[in-house]
Structure 1
């Protein structure tokens, strides 16, 4: 099968400028989590999977949070399929969905809790779910060391 290419250089350039990190939904969720006193890392490489990152990570608790864009990740409610160069777009978007599933399965096999949300979901609802999950996985507080 011949390699399918983007419909034009202009389309390719426009798509490459799409933000892949620090999107408005990510920033909104992070602000709420931070204001609630939760600390996390952002855009952390997926352990053992090159060129993949986790949007929000609670490392010691092994919680990975992804905020997926409806178009790029195939939201069942809002995903659209471009009509121009449809074969190329179908292959591209299907590959994204498969990569998301592979990433989730890999992390879960390594003992991570994976939370995936769509960009259209309310940041407050996302933050509540993340905070509850973080709280449920937190280790009990250790008693203070003697002599301190």
Structure 2
């Protein structure tokens, strides 16, 4: 049984955003302070990544643990009402995440996915991972360009 009334549940669900989430803002601000410039929620890129470095073809997703199914079995145990609906919804979100990742990789993108707790508890590790990927892409580009210079 749900502890909230139908109206309270409706308000809670209505307040959930798909972009501009706390974890997205935390990561984006940290990257901006490091001097890294990016685009947010690019609609013309498959999956509409939360943060995009077009120059380096790096797409970053900030995944909430509930909606994207981290520790799926534990999550399912916590859900009290409408279990079948939530199970199907979360499984489809996970499937969509895999499809988007595969599609972006086929198009030559590097895809980085960070869980909510990673961003909140180990922000510096997330930033280091992003910077490492940017450096790798930059090095490859420089190496390719220097090959063809006379």
TM-score in terms of structure 2 length: 0.78
Conserved? CA contact 1:25–1:123, under 8 Å: no
Which residue number corresponds to residue 132 of structure 1?
Answer: 132
2:114 to 106, 114, 117: 117
Listed as ranges, the gaps of 5+ residues in structure 1 are 1-7, 144-148
Bigger strand share = 1
Cα distance between partner residues in 1 of 2:132 and 2:73? 27
Which residue number corresponds to residue 37 of structure 2?
Answer: 39
1:104 to 97, 101, 105: 101
Listed as ranges, the gaps of 5+ residues in structure 2 are 1-5
Assess, with a 3 A threshold, how the Cα gap between structure 1 residues 80 and 140 changes in structure 2: closer, same or farther. Answer: same
Q: 1:19: how far off?
A: 2.1
Q: 1:24: how far off?
A: 1.6
Q: CA RMSD in A?
A: 2.5
Bigger helix share = 2
TM-score in terms of structure 1 length: 0.79
Alignment of 1:35-114 (within 5 A): 35-45=33-43, 47=45, 49=46, 52-76=47-71, 80-81=75-76, 82-114=79-111
Aligned residues, how many? Answer: 134
Q: 1:11: how far off?
A: 3.1
Cα distance between partner residues in 2 of 1:57 and 1:13? 31
Cα distance between partner residues in 2 of 1:92 and 1:12? 17
Cα distance between partner residues in 1 of 2:22 and 2:73? 17
For 2:50, what is the secondary structure of its paired residue?
strand
